[in-house]
Amino acid sequence: MFKNIVYKFFGIEEVKDPEDTIPVVVSRKRIIADKVVEVELRDPEGKELPAFTAGAHIDVHIKPGMMRQYSLPNNPQERDRYISAVLMEPEGKGGSKALFYDVQEGDKLLVSKPRNHFPLAEDAPYSVFVAGGIGLTPLMAMAYRLRELGKPFKFYYRARARAWAAYPDLLVEEFGDSVECLFSDEGGREKFDLDAILKEVPEGTHLYTCGANSFMDFVTSTAEKYLPEDNVHLEYFYAAFDADSAENQPFELYCTKSDVTLEVPSDKSITDVLEENGINLPISCSDGICGSCITKFVEGEVEHRDGVLSKSDREKKQLFTPCCSRAVGEKLSIEV
């Protein structure tokens, strides 16, 4: 189980769950598109890495105090390496810049074991992937898995320019006619008619999308005209909720297992307050993206600010992400 101890390894601190963490070495680093770097990670002694499933991600501890989540695009059958393909964002919080500029071949890093909050419905009769830019990474692993299962799919890859797109040639090489690259500088924007595509798909089709939030909004709002909500799946790269513009209210938090009542002020998250009081949940992204902190609530109402729980999860009124979500009223009881 989760243990809240600081773990020091390769000079990296702040790893709170050593049992979930494994050492790796950067075995290859290369630029694969404009501002996109691919980092290949292997066991330092050449052993097999923990298996992953299509759609999984790992936490990469890039340097002290800096951890980021990256989806694994490679074939889940591969046990000898994890791949991260990362877009360098000059205005980002620094993780992609550090991977792009600072991390070098031969560096030793810590990563978490793979986790998957974006699973593939393997029994679907047909699947549609709609990737926006670097959002192709989890979808690519899904395509490998469906090919292995012999299941049909179509992979639509949208990006502004071919030069900015990771793996377009590899995708076509691996999946042939199942891939359509639709890059704006080649007229792809005009050719991409998602309504027309989804009108023709067989019953039971599942759709998966990943990319910029606005791109996924477009894809999911179109998809929901043709597919049941439960068949439309998305994964956020960026926080789904604009916390800076939110108005937070303070509330009382009762922790049922610890039997303590805490005050959550407007300028702190639930996980901040829990941590200050010696109650540590597994936290990874703090942005409602990774699902590491998902916790049960037993009383009260929650304003969900995450991008991982599905609508049906939310309707059950049992789970929430305390790293970013908050109480609607004055009290919330949670199972910690």
Applying CB under 6 A, the residues found at the interface with ligand FES are 283-286, 288-293, 306, 308, 321, 323
Spatial separation of the C-alpha atoms in residues 253 and 262, rounded to whole Å: 5
Q: Are 158 and 182 in contact (CB under 8 A)?
A: yes
Taking the least distance from each CB to ligand FES, the nearer of 43 and 59 is 59
CB of 115 to ligand FES, least distance (A): 10
Report the C-alpha gap between 25 and 289 in whole angstroms: 26
Looking at residue 31, the DSSP 8-state letter turns out to be: E
The smaller minimum CB distance to ligand FES, of residues 129 and 320, is found at 320
CB of 33 to ligand FES, least distance (A): 27
Residue 236 CB, nearest approach to ligand FES (Å)? 10
Structure token pair of residue 248: 């937070």
Give the nearer residue to ligand FES in terms of CB position, either 222 or 284.
284
128 vs 323, beta carbon nearer ligand FES: 323
Q: SS3 letters for 249-307?
A: CCEEEEECCCCEEEEECCCCCHHHHHHHCCCCCCCCCCCCCCCCCCEEEEECCEECCCC
The nearest distance, CB 322 to ligand FES, in angstroms, is 7
Residue type, 323: C
CA 17 to chain centre: 19
* Token pair belonging to 317: 């009124």
Q: How far is the CB of 235 from ligand FES (least distance, A)?
A: 12
Answer for the pair 127, 149: CB distance below 8 angstroms, yes or no.
Answer: no
Dist CA 227 CA 204 (whole Å):
8
Cβ 324 to ligand FES, closest distance in Å? 6
Identity of the residue, 40 or 59, whose beta carbon is nearer to ligand FES in the bound complex: 59
In the bound state with ligand FES, the residue whose beta carbon lies nearer, of 141 and 294, is 294
The CA–CA distances, whole Å, from 176 to 123, 154, 160, 308 equal 22, 10, 21, 31
Q: Is the Cβ–Cβ distance between 133 and 211 less than 8 Å?
A: yes
HSE, side-chain direction, 13 A CA sphere, residue 20: 20
By beta-carbon proximity to ligand FES, the closer residue of 29 and 326 is: 326
Min separation Cβ 284 and ligand FES, Å: 5
Which residue, among 317, 279, 323, 327, has the nearest Cα to 296 in the 3D structure?
Answer: 317
Spatial neighbors of 191 by CB under 8 A, at least 6 apart, are 182
- Give the DSSP letter of residue 58: E
The distance of closest approach from Cβ of residue 281 to ligand FES in the complex, given in angstroms and rounded to an integer, is 8
Q: How far is the CB of 1 from ligand FES (least distance, A)?
A: 17
Task: State the DSSP code for 115.
Answer: B
